[in-house]
């Protein structure tokens, strides 16, 4: 775990020296399982800052909600850093107005995995050196952190922020792309009927609350395609056509933009799996165009660039 | 399959405007082919394709100009990148990849699309009717299929 | 009437109801429980110390329902609802209370919703009291409780190997007619369990003067603070048992007019045709959600519009806690009004 005091000191410095107007980070939640994103604007508040494995949101999602010219300091992990970069590529924020405090990420704990193992009455969660101790109303549990990590984090390739202004803690080794690809390959190897059955089962639990959309840093459209009235792109209700349409198009809009942070899946109140969709698209982009979203702040995603090198592909 | 497969044909307007092809479009277009003319393949939003698929299209054909011949310079290239990926993506969740086909036409071509459609139709017949992702309410139940 | 029901006999009893009714019971769906129709293979989930993920309001106000079907020549016909008489078993008291609250909105003289009314009239609700207090729930704080009897036809209390069945209406009595009556001792014992459960629920916030404080601080900075980290999704409202907003949409491709759940947390909810939005940001929308439950319900029916089920606390993706918001609201300044 990175040193919390070092993070606080840095956040205080940023505010005190006027480098930024607001620091986006986390504060303790009212339940131990849910730390809350927080916006610190003065030095005194920063004492309240927390950071642990349960901080499940991708803070970059708040970037497009703050005024464009505001100077923002942000706590970023590997995936968040890439999301920020992708937003800079899409001109949603200029890099000069950002100060990124990088944290090498040891993975985000999926609170559902805690509830599954320890029940809901969790009173305290302590995390130390890849061991998570959980205090519930009646019992005490000890888990290895790997057991509780969110699926996206288990296949994380870039845990260390790539372009943070300051890194707090030691950089972690890069993940293995081949391991990351395994889940997608396994899914792909199924028969077409099985694939559809799985997709159907997952999509049709949807209640269309759009938590996945709101939790995603790349979903910043003022008007989402599902909110259009004329023309109506997908059915509005909780019908198979509407729910499948939503999941297909939401995922597809993330092509070459998704950083596989998994915030969508963690936000879902119905436990719908959806990173298997975006992961497929991510790996296709790597295979076809050797592109990963958010590795830098210049490279345009494949769908925004066309070259005549594509010519040969036409005849396939 | 007793009935002919339903095909949604997304056609760029710039490569099907010879008089013979136009006549075919106007008077000889088979009933099982639903022609959607677009100003350019670059205008084909994946949502259009999804609508066709959900509405019960057994196959989707996308036809446009060859590279370097696009009326809007790069519309076809952008479309190719995006729709090809969309095709792969739909395959990943249950709509066979071979149900979507791309045809790239030279501006000078005449009568090619008909031949390609006939071939596509034959291949689709072998595949059978599409059922995955067909979720729109059927006509008999008060809905409207493609 | 107080009856005694062996736990072993419960599955058989539920199956026997199927002759007359459609029976809905909480069953396992992925990692949570959900009200689903009972079949021969159904596995009942009753031991969990919390309620179903989707509140049972969905049984009365489905996520999407067809109102009207358009026909070919400009005409239309009403959609057939086709609701069979049904029993909903295992509904928690907070959720049952919520349905009573929703009745005040859907069943009003001159404004009765026929679809809601039909489903309500054909439904027998059998409650299951919460002897293990659920985490994050706060039913006693808002004036209800883990054994609240409002709007139930019968209430079950878990006594270990048996249930005490308190029938509260004729329909409820009919469901349990073959059972033997419970002795006074057992009843006393059950009351004790109920009282313990009631006392175990913590007081999450003070409700005194809460309405006035929220009203008087309508333009307070407080709303900005509490809504800062809100994502603007619909989790809290869609999973809320007392949220009932809906949106009527013409699905032209399906030739139907449908109504879908809608929520005040969405931008499009209050967006007007002119483009003006009276609730332009999440600040106003959060204020609306809280004020509706803790001010407007009180104005309209003199009841708090929150039953303390705790779903919004548990599933909020950014950990916003309505209890903490209200605790903070309690620290706001206010003046005692002297209006008569």
pLDDT at C338: 63
**Who among A56, A242, A270 is closest to C53 (CB)?**
A270
Cβ burial of C121 (10 Å; 0-12, 13-18, 19+) is exposed
Question: Chain C partners of A235 at a C-beta cutoff of 8 Å?
Answer: 251, 253-254
Same domain, C58 and C183: yes
Domain architecture of chain B: domains with CATH: 7-134 (3.40.50)
CB A29 within 8 A of CB A111: no
Q: Which residues, at least 6 apart from C316, have a Cβ–Cβ distance to it below 8 Å?
A: A34, C235, C236
- Tell me the two tokens of residue C330: 């309690």
Same domain, C73 and C184: yes
Same domain, A74 and A166: yes
Q: Is residue A117 a part of any domain in this protein?
A: yes
C28/chain A closest Cα distance in angstroms: 13
Same domain, C148 and C256: no
Q: Is residue C335 a part of any domain in this protein?
A: no
**Who among B50, B84, B137 is closest to A245 (CB)?**
B50
B44/chain C closest Cα distance in angstroms: 20
CA C223 to chain centre: 25
Q: Is residue A316 a part of any domain in this protein?
A: no
Q: Is residue A313 a part of any domain in this protein?
A: no
pLDDT at B73: 86
Q: Is residue A311 a part of any domain in this protein?
A: no
Same domain, C254 and C291: yes
Q: Which of C231, C259, C260 to mutate to test the interface with A (most CBs of A within 10 A)?
A: C231
The Cα–Cα gap between B100 and B83 comes to 10
Q: Which of A114, A226, A269, A271 to mutate to test the interface with C (most CBs of C within 10 A)?
A: A269
Domain end residue (candidates: A100, A121, A148): A148
Same domain, C86 and C68: yes
Same domain, A254 and A275: yes
- Condensed to tens digits (0 to 9), the pLDDT of residues B104-121 reads 888 787 888 899 999 999
Q: Is residue C102 a part of any domain in this protein?
A: yes
Range of the domain at A296: 4-110+149-304
Same domain, C36 and C168: yes
Q: Is residue C82 a part of any domain in this protein?
A: yes
Q: Is residue C247 a part of any domain in this protein?
A: yes
Same domain, A43 and A176: yes
In chain C, which residue's Cα lies nearest the Cα of B140? C254
Same domain, A153 and A141: no
pLDDT at C102: 95
Question: Chain C partners of A214 at a C-beta cutoff of 8 Å?
Answer: 231-233, 317
pLDDT at C112: 92
Q: Kindly indicate whether the ipTM for this predicted assembly is greater than 0.85, answering yes or no.
A: yes
- Condensed to tens digits (0 to 9), the pLDDT of residues B2-59 reads 678 999 999 998 887 788 888 888 888 899 999 999 999 999 999 999 999 998 899 9
With 80 as the cut, is the pLDDT of residue A264 above it? yes
Domains identified in chain C, total number: 2
Same domain, A72 and A36: yes
Same domain, C133 and C250: no
Same domain, C83 and C9: yes
Domain end residue (candidates: C200, C234, C259): C200
Same domain, C111 and C238: no
Question: Chain C partners of A122 at a C-beta cutoff of 8 Å?
Answer: 135
Q: Is residue C114 a part of any domain in this protein?
A: yes
pLDDT at C222: 93
Same domain, C154 and C187: yes
Question: Is A37 an interface residue toward C (CB < 8 Å)?
Answer: yes
- Tell me the two tokens of residue C110: 């001159």
Q: Which of C71, C250, C253, C256 to mutate to test the interface with B (most CBs of B within 10 A)?
A: C253
Same domain, A134 and A189: no
Same domain, A74 and A142: no
pTM of the prediction? 0.93
Q: In chain C, which stretches have pLDDT less than 70?
A: 337-340
Same domain, C322 and C250: yes
Domains identified in chain A, total number: 2
Question: Is A199 an interface residue toward B (CB < 8 Å)?
Answer: yes
Same domain, C227 and C179: no
In chain B, which residue's Cα lies nearest the Cα of C69? B142
- Condensed to tens digits (0 to 9), the pLDDT of residues B64-86 reads 998 888 899 889 888 989 999 99
Q: Is residue A158 a part of any domain in this protein?
A: yes
Contact between C318 and A34 using a beta-carbon 8 Å cutoff: yes
Domain end residue (candidates: C155, C171, C200): C200
Q: Is residue C205 a part of any domain in this protein?
A: no
Q: Is residue C125 a part of any domain in this protein?
A: yes
In chain A, which residue's Cα lies nearest the Cα of C63? A238
Contact between C69 and B143 using a beta-carbon 8 Å cutoff: no
Q: Is residue C58 a part of any domain in this protein?
A: yes
Domain end residue (candidates: C200, C218, C248): C200
Q: Is residue A310 a part of any domain in this protein?
A: no
Helix and strand tally (H, E) in chain C?
13, 12
Question: Chain B partners of C256 at a C-beta cutoff of 8 Å?
Answer: 137, 142
Q: Is residue A98 a part of any domain in this protein?
A: yes
pLDDT at B18: 80
Range of the domain at C55: 2-200
- Condensed to tens digits (0 to 9), the pLDDT of residues A86-145 reads 999 999 999 999 999 999 999 999 999 999 898 888 999 998 888 999 999 888 999 999
With 50 as the cut, is the pLDDT of residue B145 above it? no
CA-based nearest residue to B32, from B2, B74, B54: B2
Same domain, A81 and A92: yes
**Who among B82, B94, B102 is closest to A192 (CB)?**
B94
**Who among C31, C62, C135 is closest to A271 (CB)?**
C31
DSSP string, A20-73: -SEEEEEE--SSTT--EEEEE-SGGGGGG-B--TT--S-GGGGGGGS-TTS-EE
């Amino acid at each position: 775990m990175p040193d919390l005091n070092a993070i606080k000191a840095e956040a205080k410095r940023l505010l005190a020296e006027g480098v930024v107007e607001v620091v986006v980070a986390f504060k303790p939640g009212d339940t131990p399982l849910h730390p809350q994103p927080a916006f610190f604007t003065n030095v005194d508040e920063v004492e309240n800052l927390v950071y642990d494995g349960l901080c499940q949101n991708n803070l970059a999602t708040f970037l497009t909600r703050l005024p464009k010219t505001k100077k923002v300091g942000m706590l970023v992990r590997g995936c968040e850093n890439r999301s920020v970069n992708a937003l800079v590529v899409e001109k949603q924020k200029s890099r000069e107005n950002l100060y990124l405090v990088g944290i090498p990420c040891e993975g985000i704990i999926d609170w559902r995995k805690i509830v599954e193992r320890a029940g809901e009455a969790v009173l305290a969660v302590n995390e130390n050196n890849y061991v998570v101790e959980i205090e519930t109303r009646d019992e005490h549990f000890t888990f290895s952190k790997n057991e509780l990590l969110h699926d996206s984090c288990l296949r994380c390739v870039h845990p260390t922020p790539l372009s943070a202004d300051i890194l707090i803690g030691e950089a972690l080794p890069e993940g293995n792309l081949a391991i990351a690809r395994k889940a997608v390959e396994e899914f792909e190897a199924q028969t077409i009927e099985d694939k559809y059955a799985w997709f159907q089962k997952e999509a049709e639990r949807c209640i269309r609350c759009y938590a996945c959309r709101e939790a995603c840093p790349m979903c910043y459209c003022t008007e989402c395609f599902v909110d259009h009235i004329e023309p109506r792109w997908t059915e509005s209700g909780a019908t198979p056509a509407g729910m499948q349409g939503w999941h297909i198009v939401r995922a597809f809009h993330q092509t070459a933009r998704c950083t596989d942070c998994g915030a969508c899946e963690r936000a879902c109140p119905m436990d719908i799996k959806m990173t298997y969709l975006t992961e497929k698209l991510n790996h296709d982009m790597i295979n076809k165009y050797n592109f990963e979203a958010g590795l830098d702040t210049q490279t345009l995603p494949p769908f925004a660039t066309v070259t005549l090198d594509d010519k040969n592909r036409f005849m396939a | 399959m007793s009935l002919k497969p339903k095909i949604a044909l997304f056609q760029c307007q710039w490569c099907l405007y010879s008089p013979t092809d136009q006549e075919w479009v106007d008077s000889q277009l088979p009933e099982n082919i639903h022609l959607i003319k677009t100003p350019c393949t670059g205008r084909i939003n994946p949502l259009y394709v999804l609508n066709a698929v959900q509405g019960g299209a057994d196959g989707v054909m996308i036809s446009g100009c060859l590279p370097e011949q696009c009326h809007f310079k790069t519309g076809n290239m952008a479309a190719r990148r995006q729709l090809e990926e969309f095709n792969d993506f739909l395959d990943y969740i249950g709509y066979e990849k071979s149900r979507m086909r791309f045809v790239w036409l030279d501006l000078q071509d005449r009568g090619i699309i008909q031949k390609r459609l006939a071939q596509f139709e034959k291949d689709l017949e072998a595949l059978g009717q599409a059922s995955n992702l067909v979720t729109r309410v059927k006509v008999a139940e008060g809905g409207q299929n493609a | 009437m107080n009856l005694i029901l062996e736990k072993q006999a419960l599955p058989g009893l539920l199956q026997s109801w199927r002759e007359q009714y459609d029976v809905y019971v909480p069953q396992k769906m992925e990692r949570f429980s959900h009200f689903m129709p009972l079949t021969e293979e159904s596995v009942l989930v009753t031991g969990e110390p919390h309620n179903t993920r989707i509140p049972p309001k969905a049984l009365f106000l489905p996520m999407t329902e067809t109102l009207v079907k358009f026909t070919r020549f400009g005409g239309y016909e009403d959609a057939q609802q086709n609701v069979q008489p049904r029993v909903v078993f295992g509904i928690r008291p907070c959720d049952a209370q919520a349905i009573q609250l929703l009745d005040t909105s859907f069943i009003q003289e001159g404004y009765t919703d026929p679809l809601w009314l039909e489903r309500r009239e054909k439904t027998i609700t059998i409650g299951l009291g919460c002897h293990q207090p659920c985490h994050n729930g706060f039913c006693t704080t808002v004036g209800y409780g883990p054994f609240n009897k409002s709007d139930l036809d019968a209430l079950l209390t878990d006594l270990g190997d048996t249930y005490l069945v308190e029938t509260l209406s004729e329909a409820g009595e009919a469901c349990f007619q073959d059972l033997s009556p419970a002795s006074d001792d057992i009843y006393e014992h059950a009351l004790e369990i109920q009282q313990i459960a009631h006392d175990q629920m913590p007081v999450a916030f003070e409700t005194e003067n809460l309405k006035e404080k929220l009203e008087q601080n309508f333009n307070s900075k407080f709303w900005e603070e509490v809504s800062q980290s809100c994502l603007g999704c619909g989790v809290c409202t869609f999973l809320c048992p007392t949220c009932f907003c809906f949106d009527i949409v013409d699905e032209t491709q399906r030739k139907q007019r449908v109504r879908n759940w809608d929520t005040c947390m969405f931008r499009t909810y209050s967006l007007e045709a002119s483009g003006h939005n009276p609730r332009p940001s999440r600040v106003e929308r959060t204020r609306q959600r809280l004020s509706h439950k803790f001010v407007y319900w009180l104005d309209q029916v003199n009841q708090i519009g929150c039953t303390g089920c705790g779903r919004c606390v548990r599933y909020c993706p950014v950990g916003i806690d309505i209890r903490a918001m209200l605790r903070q609201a309690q620290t706001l300044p206010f003046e005692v009004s002297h209006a008569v």
